[in-house]
Amino acid sequence: QVQLVESGGGSVQAGGSLRLSCAASGKTNSLNYIGWFRQAPGKEREGVADIQTGAGSTAYADSVKGRFTISQDNAKKMVHLQIDSLKPEDTAMYYCAATSRSRRWSRPLPVLAVEYWGQGTQVTVSP
């Protein structure tokens, strides 16, 4: 089993920045991908970024390319999501997610790929 705990959400004005963090514990060596999803009220959960834990390759949704940066700190078993140039449409609950499944997933990961979810951290962006 793997446990994921997010931190770093908050309320910011448009144009601001936030850094979300995800602390992983448990059988983290089994993980192939760790990613971030978000879900706004009334909308489906969508993948925004992920990182392949071994090779370190990253992938981003088109809506966040150039503004979001995902990184991992293997020693600390943490994954970070740097969010810059925030927009009101970025307002959502952000979830850390991970999977040990090794099939060739589309990137960023789809919801069906996820085995483990964090509890979420809220990001609110005001105009």
pLDDT given for residue 103 in this prediction:
83
Concatenate the DSSP letters of all residues of the chain into one string: -EEEEEE--EEEETT--EEEEEEEEESGGG-SEEEEEEE-TTS--EEEEEEETTT--EEE-TTTTTTEEEEEETTTTEEEEEE-S--GGG-EEEEEEEE---S---SSPPGGG-SEE---EEEEEE-
pLDDT given for residue 54 in this prediction:
86
pLDDT given for residue 126 in this prediction:
97
Per-residue pLDDT of the chain (127 residues), as tens digits, is: 999 999 999 999 999 999 999 999 999 999 999 999 999 999 999 999 999 998 899 999 999 999 999 999 988 799 999 999 999 999 999 999 999 998 889 999 999 999 999 999 999 999 9
pLDDT given for residue 76 in this prediction:
79
pLDDT given for residue 117 in this prediction:
98
